[in-house]
Amino acid sequence: MAFGGELSPGLNDRLSGPARTVWAKHDRDGHGWLPLWRHMEDSAAVAGRLWDEWLPGNVRALISRALPGGLDDGRRLAVWLAGVHDIGKATPAFACQVEQLAYAMHDQGLEMKTLRQWGTDRRMAPHGLAGQLLLAEWLEERHGFTVRQSGQFAVVVGGHHGVPPDHGQVKGLDDREDLLRTPGESRAQWLRVQQELLGACAEEFGVAGRLGDWRSVKLPQPVQVLLSALVIVADWIASNPDLFPYFPQAAHQRGEERVAAAWRGLQLPPRWRAPEPVEGIPELFASRFDLPSGAEVRPVQEAAVGLARTMPEPGLLVIEAPMGEGKTEAALAAAEILAARSGAGGVFFALPTMATGNAMFPRLLDWLKRLPTEDGARLSVLLAHSKAALNEDFADLLRAGTQQIAAVGLDEEDRPVRPGGEGSAASAELVAHSWLRGRKKAMLSSFVAGTVDQLLFAGLKSRHLALRHLAVAGKVVIIDEVHAYDTYMSTYLDRVLSWLGAYGVPVVVLSATLPASRRRQLAEAYAGESADGCAEGFDAVEAAEAYPLLTAVAPGSAPMLEAPPASGRSSGVHLERLEDDLGVLADRLEAELVDGGCALVVRNTVQRVLETARVLRERFGEGAVTVAHSCFIDVDRAAKDAALLSRFGPPGKAKDRPTQRHIVVASQVAEQSLDVDFDLLVSDLCPVDLLLQRMGRLHRHQRGDGQAERPSRLRTARCLLTGVDWAGEVPAPVRGSVAVYGEYPLLRSAAVLLDHLGGEAPPVRLPQDISLLVQGAYARDSSAPAGWAEAIARARQRYEDFRGDQAERAAVFRLDPVGRPGRPLIGWVSAGVGDADDTRAGRAQVRDGRESLEVVVVQRRADGVLTTVDWIDPGKAGLELPEDRAPDARAAMAAAACGLRLPYQFSFPEVLDRAIAELEQFCPQAWQGKESHWLAGELILVLNADCQTRLAGFQLRYSDVDGLEVTRD
C-alpha cells in the first residue's frame, strides 16, 4: 500500500510465508478470515484517508507541531500507528483462539498452546497490551529508543480498545514472555515474525527513515490522546466486513481498489473548512441570522466579533451580557471566525438541559444553512442527548441520512449512496450520517447541539475517552448558561477546560449573571500553566466591574478585557415584599389584574407550583391559570413550551396572547430558554443571579410606546418577592427553597436586594445593576446586614461544607490534569467508571448524585391492557404495549416520548433505592432486546386507568394539565 499515493510493493510482498499466515479477524462460521498484514494495510490506508479528508485542520496541526517534519511527519506517524495497532495479534495468546487458523500458523513453525491449555492466563495478554509491549521492545532494541521515548508511541497501540493499560498490567505481561512468544525452539520464529511485520510496516508506511529523528520527540499528552482516537476510528472502519471483505473472497483484491471501494461506500462527510468572513459586522449578522427588520447589531455582538478577530490566537472568550442581548448570535458569529483562524472543523453548542438543547437545534440548523460553503458540501450534524430521536428536526435528518454502509466498486459508482438533497454554494447538505451514530461515535459529527453532560464526559475517566477528546478537540465549543452549573458539575467543567486549553480549542462561554470569582476560575482553568505567569492579568479579570463584559484568554498571553455598552435598552424593576400566604397572593393578583394582563408566578418547587395553582383556580377559574414545571412527561412538556411561546412570546410571533387576565404558575423552567413576556412577576426568593433571569421575563419586549399596550396598572415593571417569612430580624426562606438552593445563597440574595425593597427604594436597573447585584451576592468578603451576621456565618459554613463535599465526590472519577510532554498515557483512565453514556446512570456521573429518577410513563387500562397514555393522540385510545413481545416501533416510540423526571422527593438515597427496586419489578424481558431499543433498559412507571399509582411510600397522580402530583401515602 502506498504511503503517499505512489506505487509500492505492499506489505504482503515484504513478508515471508510465516508472517503471512498470522490472522487478524474471522467470521462466525470460520470460513472467512483476514490476515494480519491485510488488516494492517486497510487500517493504515483508512488513517491516511481520515487525515487527508476528515480530520480537522487544528487537530492535524497540533499533532504535527510536536514532530520535526511538521505535517508530513504527522501524517506518517498517524498512518504507521494505525498500521501497527494490531501487532499484538501476532502472539500465541491471541492466535490460539481459532483452531483452524492456528493450525496454519503452526505449520509455519509458530507453535502455541491450545485455547483450553491457556486457561485464564490469556487474560493477562489482551492484544492491545501485547502490541504495546512488542512495539516498545522493537523501538528500543532496533532503533535505540529509551523506555520513556518508546512508551509515548507504543501506548497508542495499547489503548486502541479504549483504555490505555496501567503500569501493573504492563509489568504483569512483561513478566510472562510465554504469552508473547512460545518458549523453546518456536520462540525465535515468533520473534522473527513479529519483527518482520513491524519492520515491513515501517518501510511500507514511510517511517523507517524518520524514527531516528523521532527519538528526541516529546509527544504532549493531548497529541497521544488524539493519535489514540484516530487509530480507534481507523480500526473501526477497517474492521467493518461490509467495507473490507474477508478472505478468501477478497484474497485477490488489490489494496488500492479495496480502500477506494470502502471509502466510496462509507461516504463520510468531509471536514468543514471555515473561510474567514470578510464582510463587515452588520453584513455578517444580516447574512447569517434571521434578524427583525431594521435590527442593528448590538455592541456586545460587535465586540465579540472584534475580539474573535483580534485576540493573538484563538482561545477562550467569555461573554457576559444581559438577557435578550443576542449572545447566541454573538457566539455563533465568533465561532465562525475562531474556526477559520484555528482550523477547527465544527461547533459544539453545550446547553444545560434537553429542553434547551431541543430549542437550540433548529437555530443551529438555520445558521448552518446560511454559512458559505463549497458547492455540494456535506456537513454532519447531531442533537446530543438521550431523547434526540424524538426531536422532529433531528428525526427528519435521521430518516434522510439512512444509507447502507458497504463497499462500492468502480462498476457501482452510479449507485445512489448519498442521503439528502442537492448541495449548493449557498446551502450545505446537512447529514445525520449512518456511521456517525451510537454513543461512542456520534459526537464525532461536525456540528452538535446537546446537553452539557456530553462536554463534561470529556473530564470523566471512562472507556474510549480519547474519542470524546477528539470530538471536542476538532470543534469550537460554546457553553451556554455557565452560571447554571453547581460545584459538582463545575469541578468537571474546569478540568475539561484545562484540556481544551491544552488542545488549543476555541471556547465561547455565555452568561448573563456570572460571579467574578467564577469568571476567573474559568479563565485560569483554560489557561492552565500559562496562568501562573499572568497573575496580574487574572487579578484584573476578577476585579473587572464593567457590564456587559467580554474576557478573552489566548494561550500564553495576558487576558484581554473589553466593556462594550449595553444596547441602549434599559428598564427598572420595582421590588416589593409579599407575605408568603396564598390568600394574600390571590388578593394581590386580583387587584393587579383588575384590568387584565398576564402575570408569571415562579415557585422554587413543583409542590408549591401545584398548591398555588389550586388556590388561584378557585379564585380566577380553571381557564385563567396555566401550570408549567419540570414534572411533565416529555411530550406534554414540549406542548407546554410551545403553548407558552404561542401565547406569551414576542410581539409579532405570539398569536394568542390572552386579552383577559391570565396567570402562569411555573417552576424554574421559566428562567431560561423561553422567550416569554409578562406584565407582572411574582417570584419566590432565589439566588440573585436566577432572580435576575426571572426578571428577564418581565417586560421583556416593548409593547407600544411606553408599554401602552399593557394594562395601565402594569406599565411599570414590578416583581413581588415572596417565599420568605419577612417578619423576623433575619428573613426565613421557606423549607422547599432551602432544600433546593441552600440557605446561604438565599440570604445573600436577600441581603443585596435590601436596598431595593420598600416603597421609596430605587428599582433594580436592568442591565446596569445586574453585575453589581451578582458580584455583591457572591463576593468572598461580603458584609452582612446588621443583625444578620451570625445567621449568615452559620449558613455559609454549611454551604461551604456542602460545596466541599460536592467537589470531593466529583474528583473521584475526574480525569487527571494534562501531564508533562513525553509522559506516556499509561494508566490515563485507570480506576474509572467504565463506559460513560447519556443514560440515567451516565448523567449521574457528571451531575450531583441527588439527581432524581427518570421513568417512562405508561398506563394500564381497566381491562388490564397496557397502553401509552391516552391523551397523546386526542380522541383516540392509547397504543397497545404487549408485555410478551416487543411493542411495534410506533407504540414504543410513543411510549419513549413519555419520559418523566421524578421530583426531588425521590432523590434521597433511601427513597431512591426503594423506588428503583419497586420499578424494576415491572420489567418485561421482551422489551430488553435490540428490537425494542426505545424501551430497553428504561424504568417503567405504570399508572392505572385513573392515572394514579403508588411508589416508594408516595401517592402519584398525573394529568396533562398539572403534570405529576406527589403526596405521601
More confident residue, 947 or 811: 947
The residue whose grid cell reads 500564553 is 556
Residues sharing a CB contact under 8 Å with residue 814, sequence separation 6 or more, in sequence order: 459, 460, 461, 491, 492, 495
Q: What per-residue confidence (pLDDT) applies to 424? A: 37
- In this predicted structure, the answer to whether residue 446 has a pLDDT above a threshold of 90 is yes
Question: Comparing 807 with 696, which gets the higher pLDDT?
Answer: 696
Helices (H), ranges, 239-342? 255-266, 281-288, 299-310, 327-342
Pairwise CA distance, residues 250 & 497, whole Å: 46
Question: What is the average per-residue pLDDT within 834-842?
Answer: 54
Res 530 pLDDT > 80: no
> What's the pLDDT at 864?
92
Q: Which fold has domain 16-241?
A: Hypothetical protein af1432 (1.10.3210)
| Cis peptide, bond prior to residue 767, ω within 30 of zero | yes
Residue 470: per-residue pLDDT:
97
Residue in the block written with cell 433511601: 910
In this structure, the strands spanning 476-479 and 347-351 are parallel
Reply yes or no on domain 571-634+641-766 having CATH 3.40.50.300: yes
Three cell numbers written together for 40: 494492517
Q: How many other C-beta atoms can be found within 10 angstroms of the C-beta atom of residue 662? A: 22
CB neighbours of 225 closer than 8 A, spacing ≥ 6?
A: 465, 466, 469, 470, 825, 828
Q: What is the DSSP letter of 919?
A: H
Question: What pLDDT does residue 68 have?
Answer: 97
Q: CA–CA separation, 456 vs 622, rounded Å?
A: 43
Say if CB 527 and CB 317 are below 8 A apart: no
- What local confidence, expressed as pLDDT, does residue 479 receive? 96
Beta bridge mates, 964: 958
Predicted local confidence at residue 722, as pLDDT: 97
- Taking the C-alpha atoms of residue 300 and residue 443, their distance in angstroms, rounded to an integer, is 30
Per-residue confidence band for 836, with pLDDT thresholds at 50, 70 and 90: low
pLDDT at position 86: 97
| pLDDT greater than 50 at residue 422 | no
pLDDT over 70 percentage in the chain: 94
Q: What average pLDDT does the segment 854-867 reach? A: 93
Q: Determine which helix (DSSP H) or strand (DSSP E) holds 681, and give its type and residue range.
A: strand 680-684
Q: Please write down the long-range contacts of 768-774, taking CB distance under 8 Å and 24 or more positions apart.
A: 768/547, 768/566, 768/570, 770/322, 770/512, 770/513, 770/547, 770/692, 771/320, 771/545, 771/546, 771/547, 771/549, 772/545, 772/547, 773/688, 773/692, 774/513, 774/514, 774/515, 774/688, 774/689, 774/692
**How far is the C-alpha of 299 from the C-alpha of 307, rounded, in Å?**
12
Burial per residue of 738-758, b for 16 or more beta-carbon CB atoms within 10 angstroms, e otherwise:
bebbbbbbbbbbbbbbeebbe
Give the mean model confidence (pLDDT) for residues 535-551: 91
Residue 371, C-alpha cell as written in the block:
454559512
Q: Which residues 6+ apart lie within 8 Å of 317 measured at CB?
A: 304, 307, 308, 311, 334, 338, 506, 507, 508, 509, 550, 551, 552, 553
- The number of residues in the chain equals 969
Q: Reply yes or no on whether the pLDDT at 334 is more than 90.
A: yes
Average pLDDT value over all residues in the chain = 90
Query: Does residue 408 surpass a pLDDT of 70?
Result: yes
Specify the pLDDT at position 305: 97
pLDDT of amino acid 831: 67
pLDDT tens column, 544-586: 989 999 999 998 888 999 999 888 777 899 999 999 999 999 9
Give the count of beta carbons closer than 10 Å to the beta carbon of residue 282: 14
pLDDT band of 427, cuts 50, 70, 90: low
Q: Which residues pair with 940 in a beta bridge?
A: 856
Phi then psi for residue 166, to 5 deg, are -100, 175
Whether pTM exceeds 0.85 = yes
pLDDT of residue 848: 59
| CA 630 – CA 903 distance, rounded (Å) | 8
Say which amino acid occupies 835.
Answer: D
Taking a C-beta distance cutoff of 8 angstroms, is the pair 414, 808 a contact?
no
pLDDT higher than threshold 50 for residue 677:
yes
Pairing between strand 854-860 and 866-867?
Answer: antiparallel
pLDDT band at 1 (very low <50, low <70, confident <90, very high): very low
Determine the Cα–Cα distance for residues 575 and 725; give it in Å rounded to an integer: 16
Whether 571-634+641-766 and 281-411+430-562 are alike in CATH topology: the answer is yes
**If you average pLDDT over each of 74-78, 348-352, 896-900, which comes out highest?**
74-78
Arch. (CATH architecture) of 281-411+430-562: 3-Layer(aba) Sandwich (3.40)
C-alpha–C-alpha distance, residues 550 and 569, integer Å? 19
Q: Please state whether 783 falls in left (phi above 0), alpha (psi between -120 and 50) or beta.
A: beta
Q: DSSP class of residue 809? A: H
Please name the amino acid found at residue 262. Answer: A
Q: Are 422 and 793 in contact (CB under 8 A)?
A: no
605 pLDDT exceeds 60?
A: yes
**pLDDT at residue 909 is higher than 50:** yes
pLDDT for residue 657: 93
How far is 660 from 598, CA to CA, in rounded Å? 8
Query: Stretch 291-298: mean pLDDT, rounded?
Result: 81
Residue 968 C-alpha cell reads as: 405521601
Q: Which residues of 858-889 are buried (b: 16+ CB within 10 A; e: fewer)?
A: bbbeeeeebbbbbbbeeeeebbebeeeebbee
Whether residue 595 has pLDDT greater than 60: yes
The answer to whether residue 487 scores a pLDDT higher than 90 is no
pLDDT 10s digits, 61-88: 999 999 999 999 999 999 999 999 999 9
Find the angle CA(939)-CA(941)-CA(942) to the nearest 5 degrees: 135
The sign of the torsion formed by the CA atoms of 812, 813, 818, 819 equals positive
Over residues 819-829, the pLDDT tens digits come to 999 999 999 99
* Nine cell digits for residue 475: 470543534
CA distances from 694 to 464, 613, 769, 897 (A): 40, 19, 15, 28
Q: Where do we find the cell 436577600?
A: 750
Give me the mean pLDDT over the 398-407 stretch.
81
Distance CA 122, CA 389 (A): 41
CB atoms within 10 A of CB 643: 13
Lowest mean per-residue pLDDT among 80-84, 482-486, 577-581, 873-877:
873-877
What is the rounded distance in angstroms from the CA atom of residue 667 to the CA atom of residue 585?
16
CA distance 957 to 722: 27
* Cα 83 to Cα 191: distance, rounded to the nearest angstrom: 19
pLDDT in tens, 97-116: 999 999 999 999 999 999 89
- Check whether 4 has a pLDDT greater than 60: no
**Is residue 851 over pLDDT 60?**
no
Every domain of the chain and the residues it spans: 16-241, 281-411+430-562, 571-634+641-766, 852-968
Q: Which residue has the higher pLDDT, 473 or 415?
A: 473
pLDDT at 863: 92
